[in-house]
Structure 1
Amino acid sequence: MSFSSEQFVSKLTKLEDSQESIASASKWLLSQHRDAPKIAECWKTYMLRNDINSRRKLLGIYVVNHVVQQAAGQKIGHFQEDFNKVIEEVLTTTFPEFSSDIKKKIARVVSIWKSRGIFSRPTLNKILVSFEKNKNTNDSDNVKLPPKIKPIVETIKKIERTQVNLHAMKTRFDNSVNELDVSSVVYDENFKTITKISNLAKDTIASSINERNGLINLLSTMIEEQNKLIVEEQTMASEIDFVLTAKDPANINNKDKTDEDMLPTYETAGDDNYDSDSDSDSDSDSENGNVDNVNKQTTSNDISLDTANALEQMNALAQENKSKRSIDEVERDDNSNNGEDKNDAKRAKEDDVYGGEEYEPASHDSNEEENATDSNNVTSSIQDLLSKLAN
């Protein structure tokens, strides 16, 4: 039966981390000893692939270790010679990418080869020297990680280990199902065995899911924390910009100039263009238009609105009193003229009776009393207004 590289790669991909799986793959390779050069080259190509994880490459090294030692015991020298040509390149190239625990396992395998003389001494010495130079290269255990990152790294490592076991259990289950023969007399026993394998596979899947959920929680917490820190830092940047803007000399000079431009200017009483009466009247009219919305306002001459109203009432009252007095004087003059005519006629008669002596009545004129009363009322009204102004 000729060697098939696809079949060999399939066996390497389905390898489990167990002695039984390693021995089974090695037995198949020993049966293909005539194609040892092809097997070595195929193995080299597989081991140098970037898409093969570290755990899978470790299992590939275990297979070679088992094959070359079994071949040495069976006096089959083809494998030692052909793998000796590729083993140095594979190990020196892949060793730096392994974690510390995998490096220790590989170094132990190489030390066994050296002690048993599996490969040539020069080849093994070159491999060991390379190991010494690169034993700390890309070693995540020797890198000082921030405290917040360490839980995430540890969780990822657990997931990777679980993933290797998961694929191995799934492969074992698939192979067992394919080998199950319904017509076999031990079908029931084989089915029970497959059921146990399936339970182990499901337990491994559940463990992997739990680890991934834990990783998601860690990452979500970190993302939330980083978002809060971003907001805080943006606020700090805004505060810095605000302070710089406030302290900028150009802005300060502009602010001073603006303040000067905003200062009010007032016309003096001595200005020829200043008309205090017209300004007062216009301001009073403007203020009276808003009297319903303001409890207390002032005129343009800094006189309260209540005071202005009171003065206006006093002025109106004085004008009314003046007008009333004028009317009373006119009526009094008319009455006086009419009275003088009547008095002259009466006096002529009295002169006849009393011998011409002039009579002076003792009573006061009623118009003078009314004028006095009106004057008192005006005075009282003015006093009331003055009292309001005082309050």
Structure 2
Amino acid sequence: MSFSSEQFVSRLNNLQDSQESIAGSSKWLLSQHRDAPQIAKSWRAYMLRTDINTRRKLLGIYLVNHVVQQATTQKIGNFQECFNDTIEEVLITTYAEFPTDIRKKIARVVGIWKQRGIFSRATVDKVLASFERTDKSTPAKSGSTGGSSNSKLTPESKPVVDSLSKIAKLHHTVHALKTRFDNSVNELDEKSMVYNENYKTVSKIGAMVKDNIAISIKERKHLVEVLNKLIADQNKHIDADEIIVNEINFAIEAKDPALINNTANDDNILPTYEDDNDDDDDDSDSDSDDDNAKTAVNKGNAPISVGLSALEQLAQANARGDLKRTSSNSEDNETASKKLKSGNSPEQEEYDIEDQDVDDDSNGDNNVTSSIQDLLSKLAN
């Protein structure tokens, strides 16, 4: 299969900081050893791009380190020769971009090249001398591999940032493994003598992809939990802040001079009420009613309840009249008995009693009528 610069750049963009990812891309490059000059040229162009971050460039250096060391072990000399001049230009040009921690990692890799004789001694010495001059003239900025620092993160946001960092790494790993799996599947040849071995390799790659996806899903769920907790905490803070704002508004409104002056003016406008003669009239009416009741009692009549209706009072008066007539009849009966004892005939006595009853009844009726008239006159008053 011929070398593809686009495919090589895609591998560089999806490369992960893991032995497995770097080894897989290195194996693919070694299979393209006939195109080593083109590979070195593409790598140089990628490393000198200004839109590539320092982490990507560090992984590119790691990839070249793995390729040239494997090429030395497998007696493939094209890579050492093609990268000898390219590595010098790239490292000297890009070294100033890296922060302190990445500079240390790059210097350690170049030291390994010098120790193992991977590149020519002149090339390695030039690179190391350039590193020393750059360190003195251009102090490196402190920072992590990604070029940012988490030292200023709040305790609440740090778990989110850490989780996002893990997810980003897993995402690149999964993407790289999936690309490797797709390429391996496409390269499977059922007629090949080593088809069974290649199939086992593809199955292992597929299993690695699924394992990394499972880890990624777990980490994303954890991030969702952290974010939900963070959202709940922020909602509580919002409610507390709104309460404080309402308290401030209430206090300011209560002390507003304009409102205080208006309240004082309202108090001055309120009317002053004085006692009138209505209560005296009511009291005189009640006193008059009490006097009438007392007069009725003094006259021997039962007191009349003011709250009773006219019909009820008439009924009571009628009842009192009947009582008087009954008592009068009892007295007449006693008189009749005395006359019987005196010798009058029963018929004569009976006649006298009947006459007397008629008179008494008429007197009783007159008394009832008089009581009713008195009652009506009182009600009218």
TM over 0.5: yes
Instruction: Tell me the TM-score normalized by structure 1.
Output: 0.59
The offset of 1:194, in angstroms, is 2.5
- Cα drift, residue 38 of structure 1: 3.3
Q: Which residue in 1 is equivalent to 2:142?
A: 135
Distance, in Å, in 1 between the alignment partners of 2:28 and 2:200 is: 25
Residues 109-135 of structure 1: per-residue CA shift (max 9 Å, x gap): 244356664441443324555885223
> Aligned residues, how many?
289
Task: Output the CA distance in 2 between the equivalents of 1:223 and 1:131.
Answer: 43
Question: Contact 1:177 / 1:194 at 8 angstroms: preserved in 2?
Answer: yes
- Look up the SS of the partner of 1:181 in the other structure: coil
* Whole-Å separation in 2 of the counterparts to 1:106 and 1:58: 8
Aligned to 1:195: 203
How far did 1:211 drift?
A: 0.1
In 1, distance between residues paired with 2:147 and 2:46? 25
Q: What TM-score do you get using the length of structure 2 for normalisation?
A: 0.60
TM superposition shift of 1:220: 1.1
Retained in 1: the 8 A contact 2:47–2:57? Answer: no
What RMSD over aligned residues (CA atoms) do the two structures have, in Å?
4.4
- Distance, in Å, in 2 between the alignment partners of 1:148 and 1:178 is 46
Aligned residue number for residue 88 of structure 2: 84
CA distance in 1: counterparts of 2:153 and 2:198, whole angstroms = 49
Partner of 2:12: 12
Does the Cα contact within 8 Å between 1:26 and 1:66 map onto a contact in 2? no
- Tell me if 1:250 matches 2:253: no
Deviation at 1:188, TM superposition (A): 4.2
Cα deviation for residue 231 of structure 1 reads 1.4
Q: 1:123 aligns with which of 113, 130, 146?
A: 130
Task: List per-residue Cα deviations over 1:46-68 (Å, max 9, x = no partner).
Answer: x5435x683x4433111233456
Match of 1:24 in 2: 27
Q: What is the alpha-carbon distance in structure 2 between the residues aligned to residue 77 and residue 5 of structure 1?
A: 19
Contact 1:11–1:25 (8 Å) recurs in 2: no
How far does residue 226 in structure 1 lie from its aligned partner after superposition?
Answer: 0.4
1:244-299 Cα deviation digits (max 9, x unpaired): 1101222212211111112x23367xxxxxxx56xx4xxxxxxxxxxxxxxxxxxx
One-letter amino acid of the structure 1 residue matched with residue 63 of structure 2: V
Partner in structure 1 of residue 157 of structure 2: 149
State the alpha-carbon separation in 1 of the partners of residues 263 and 198 from structure 2. 93
Q: Give the corresponding residue for 1:330.
A: none
Letter in 1 for 2:236: K
Instruction: Tell me the secondary structure at the aligned position of residue 32 of structure 1.
Output: helix
- In 1, Cα distance between the equivalents of 2:187 and 2:134? 41
| Counterpart secondary structure, 2:241 | helix
- Find 2:244's aligned residue among 215, 220, 236: 236
| Counterpart-to-counterpart distance in 1, 2:138 and 2:210 | 38
Corresponding residue for residue 388 of structure 1: none
How far residue 316 of structure 1 moved from its aligned partner, in angstroms, is 9.2
Could you tell me how far 1:240 is from its partner in structure 2?
A: 0.5
1:354-379 residue CA offsets vs partner (Å, 9 max, x unmatched): xxxxxxxxxxxx9xxx8xx97xx99x
Query: 1:324 maps to what in 2?
Result: none
The one-letter code matched in structure 1 to 2:92 is E
Map of 2:47 onto structure 1: 44
Contact kept, 8 Å, 2:54 with 2:147, in 1: the verdict is: no
Distance in 2 separating the partners of 1:146 and 1:302: 81
Question: Structure 2 CA distance, aligned partners of 1:315 and 1:157?
Answer: 103
Q: Return closer, same or farther for 1:130/1:168 CA change in 2, 3 Å cut-off.
A: farther
Distance between the aligned counterparts of 1:216 and 1:208, measured in 2? 12
Unaligned runs of 5+ in 1: 269-275, 281-300, 321-365, 383-391
What corresponds to 1:328 in structure 2?
none
Note if contact 2:181-2:206 (Cα within 8 Å) is conserved in structure 1.
yes
Matched, 1:65 2:65: yes
User: Is the contact between residue 15 and residue 59 of structure 2 (CA under 8 Å) also seen in structure 1?
Assistant: yes
SS at match of 1:133: coil
Q: How far has the Cα of 1:314 moved from its partner?
A: 6.0
CA distance in 1: counterparts of 2:158 and 2:43, whole angstroms: 39
Q: Say whether the 8 Å CA contact 1:173–1:194 is kept in structure 2.
A: yes
Relative to structure 1, is the Cα distance of residues 179 and 68 closer, same or farther in structure 2, using a 3 angstrom cutoff?
closer
> What CA distance in whole angstroms lies between the structure 1 residues aligned with 2:151 and 2:77?
45
* Distance in structure 2 (CA, Å) of the matches to 1:83 and 1:254: 85
1:167 is aligned to 175
Structure 2, gaps ≥5 residues long: 297-362
Q: Distance in 2 between matches of 1:81 and 1:197?
A: 35
SS at match of 1:182: coil
User: Structure 2 counterpart of 1:5, which letter?
Assistant: S
Is the contact made by 2:14 and 2:172 (CA closer than 8 Å) also made in structure 1? no
* Range with greater deviation from structure 2 (197-206 or 232-241): 197-206
**1:162–1:208 Cα contact (<8 Å) kept:** yes
Deviation, 1:6, is 2.2
Structure 2 counterpart of 1:266, which letter? Y
Contact 1:152/1:215 (CA < 8 Å) preserved in 2? Answer: yes
Match of 1:184 in 2: 192
% of aligned pairs identical?
37
Contact 1:40/1:86 (<8 A) preserved: no
Secondary structure at the counterpart of residue 140 of structure 2:
helix
Say whether residues 1:209 and 2:217 are aligned partners. yes
Q: 1:225 to 1:186 in 2, by over 3 A?
A: same
2: CA distance between counterparts of 1:130 and 1:169? 41
Deviation at 1:34, TM superposition (A): 4.4
Q: Rate the CA distance shift 1:255–1:235 in 2: closer, same or farther, 3 A.
A: same
Residue-by-residue CA offset, 1:304-345 (whole Å, 9 max, x unaligned): x8x688468569989x9xxxxxxxxxxxxxxxxxxxxxxxxx
CA distance in 2, matches of 1:192, 1:33: 29
